[in-house]
Amino acid sequence: MKLDSIIEPHSIAVYGLSKSNPFHPANVIYAKNHLRTNARTYAINPKGGRHFGQQVYSSITELPEVPDLAVLTIRADFVPDTLRECIAAGVKGAIIVSGGFAEAGRHDLREEVRRICEEHDFPAIGPNCLGVYAPPNVNTIFLPVERIMTPKQGCVSIVSQSGGYLVEIVLNLVQENVGISSAVSIGNKDVIDEVDVLQYFAGHDATRVVGVYVEGFKEGRGRVFAETVRSMNKPVVVFKAGKTPGGTRAVSSHTAALAGDYLTFSEVMKQCGAIEADSPGEFSSFCKALGHYRGKGGKRTVIISVSGGHGAIASDLCSAHGLDLVEIPQADKAALSEKLSENVRKIVSYNNPIDLTGSVSDADIAVATNFFLERDYVDQVILLCLPYVPGATPDIGAHVSLFTREFDKPVLVYIPNMPKYQMYIEGFESNGIPVSHSVEGVVYMAKALARYYR
């Protein structure tokens, strides 16, 4: 089934607008799309009338055009007939936000919805979902604008069975300054599932990385998911819920999903080339790193720090996550010393992790980074940058990027996330160098690149 009408619609009809409840999901969805997206948006309520000066239509047949997408936020019992109405009118796809289907024991409604859509080759996301966030055309996340942060546009697309956790993922990515291309909550996935969305993103030019939150697969779809990942030319990051007996029970009661055996799942993900994240922090960091760097990276890592303690912590984390801290040849230690400024060259620790000390300047950090990017035995550089070091200025990112442009190797940076350090962070990220706000996070980024490009 084609998903263009759902993820990139030019026109939207929102069913279920309430005249009495301004917080009804339909009202929030209508307002968001009418005021903040490019798609032409229409509200439908059987009583018709007006809403904040806008026409409310009593039927889809009254609209001035046939919409690409219908968003259903109505009682579950009304969904089958409404789908038939949409199909008859020529609508190309639907998002069923409504709950009350298999997760509430209404398997009859689930089967009816599935049968209607399959008979007419009609794509439908849901039911029991938040739907789609895909700027600038559609946003069916029915949470008030003032209560969530709006991500910038970017190259990472997300698929999640859980709508609530989709929001959590997006918020985590926003905090890490990761841009979103699309985010899709599939809910009960009675018609469209994560495999269908993954296949769509495989050919989606704006998507460079796909992140998938998985609770369980429908029978037979796990194999197809793995085959799809294997065939893709872009990275797929997977985070699995239901790894323990308690988690499996929670997943099953949440969206009537079959969680499956986790050990088997994990092994299959390795074989098909997916990058499995073990935690939400890894998931965000993996998506960020892989969105910045394609075809780059490896295990052989050099850590450059301006603090011995930070370097030691990063070293331990690298070892724990399978990264190799390369041994610096004695000749290279001497050669690097000659390139550094006189006030630091005698106090630097030249063993990996490199400790340039708190007396360092922008020039020293940039020179050391360039030095190791030139080395054949180095795949990537982790730079632990502390803006409170006196000699570091907001121009450090620009200085380092002048060298990184010449080499096909990643530089991954740690800077604490504080408002006063924003200029330092922007200096790196505006030049294409990703920044993490924790030492763990920057190591996770290095881990992602080593896994995907090993």
Residue 150 pLDDT: 84
Per-residue pLDDT for 184 more than 70?
yes
Residue 252 pLDDT: 44
- Asked if 1-128 and 148-292 have one fold, the answer is yes
Protein fold of 148-292: Rossmann fold (3.40.50)
Query: How many other C-beta atoms can be found within 10 angstroms of the C-beta atom of residue 70?
Result: 28
| Nearest alpha carbon to residue 178 among 287, 275, 293 | 287
Q: What is the mean pLDDT of residues 323-335?
A: 97
**158, 184 in Cβ contact below 8 A?**
yes
Residue 145 pLDDT: 78
Q: Which two tokens mark 450?
A: 């080593």
Q: Which two tokens mark 119?
A: 């008979």
pLDDT tens digits, residue range 256-305? 444 468 888 999 999 999 999 999 999 999 999 999 997 788 999 999 99
Q: How far is CA 407 from CA 59, 253, 301, in A?
A: 59, 50, 15
Residue 423 pLDDT: 95
Residues 6+ apart with CB under 8 A from 2: 92, 93, 123
Residue 258 pLDDT: 44
Q: What is the mean pLDDT of residues 101-108?
A: 89
Per-residue pLDDT for 253 more than 50?
no
Beta partners for residue 210, in sequence order? 157, 236
Report how far residue 93's alpha carbon sits from residue 73's, in angstroms, rounded to the nearest whole number: 14
Residue 87 pLDDT: 98
Sign for the pseudo-dihedral over CA of 160, 166, 169, 174? positive
Q: What is the mean pLDDT of residues 179-207?
A: 96
Report how far residue 139's alpha carbon sits from residue 149's, in angstroms, rounded to the nearest whole number: 13
Residue 321 pLDDT: 97
Per-residue pLDDT for 454 more than 70?
no
The band of 244, judged by pLDDT with boundaries at 50, 70 and 90, is low
Report how far residue 274's alpha carbon sits from residue 448's, in angstroms, rounded to the nearest whole number: 10
Report how far residue 157's alpha carbon sits from residue 388's, in angstroms, rounded to the nearest whole number: 35
Per-residue pLDDT for 403 more than 90?
no
The band of 251, judged by pLDDT with boundaries at 50, 70 and 90, is very low
**288, 432 in Cβ contact below 8 A?**
no
**326, 335 in Cβ contact below 8 A?**
no
**135, 153 in Cβ contact below 8 A?**
yes
Tokens 């929001």 -> residue? 167
Residue 428 backbone zone (phi > 0: left; psi -120 to 50: alpha; other: beta): alpha
Residue 243 pLDDT: 80
Residue 406 pLDDT: 81
Q: What is the CATH number of domain 295-452?
A: 3.40.50.261
Residue 255 pLDDT: 43
Q: What is the mean pLDDT of residues 28-43?
A: 96
What residue spans define the domains of the chain? 1-128, 148-292, 295-452
Residue 247 pLDDT: 43
At the fourth CATH level, the homologous superfamily of domain 1-128 is NAD(P)-binding Rossmann-like Domain (3.40.50.720)
Residue 323 pLDDT: 97
Query: How many other C-beta atoms can be found within 10 angstroms of the C-beta atom of residue 355?
Result: 23
Tokens 């990027």 -> residue? 401
The band of 129, judged by pLDDT with boundaries at 50, 70 and 90, is very high
DSSP, collapsed to helix, strand or coil, labels residue 361 as coil
Of 373-382, 400-409, 444-453, give the lowest mean pLDDT range: 400-409
Residue 297 pLDDT: 87
pLDDT tens digits, residue range 336-390? 999 999 989 999 999 999 999 999 999 999 999 999 999 999 999 999 999 989 9
Q: Give the H or E element holding residue 339.
A: helix 330-339
Strand order in the sheet with 180-185: 138-139, 131-134, 180-185, 153-160, 209-214, 236-240, 275-277
Q: What is the mean pLDDT of residues 141-149?
A: 81
What pTM was computed for the model?
A: 0.91
Percentage of the chain lying above the pLDDT 70 cut: 96
Angle subtended at Cα 387 by Cα 382 and Cα 393, rounded to the nearest 5 degrees:
105
Report how far residue 436's alpha carbon sits from residue 288's, in angstroms, rounded to the nearest whole number: 9
Per-residue pLDDT for 8 more than 60?
yes
Query: How many other C-beta atoms can be found within 10 angstroms of the C-beta atom of residue 296?
Result: 17
Q: What is the mean pLDDT of the chain?
A: 92
Strands 54-57 and 50-51, bridge-based pairing: antiparallel
Report how far residue 129's alpha carbon sits from residue 125's, in angstroms, rounded to the nearest whole number: 8
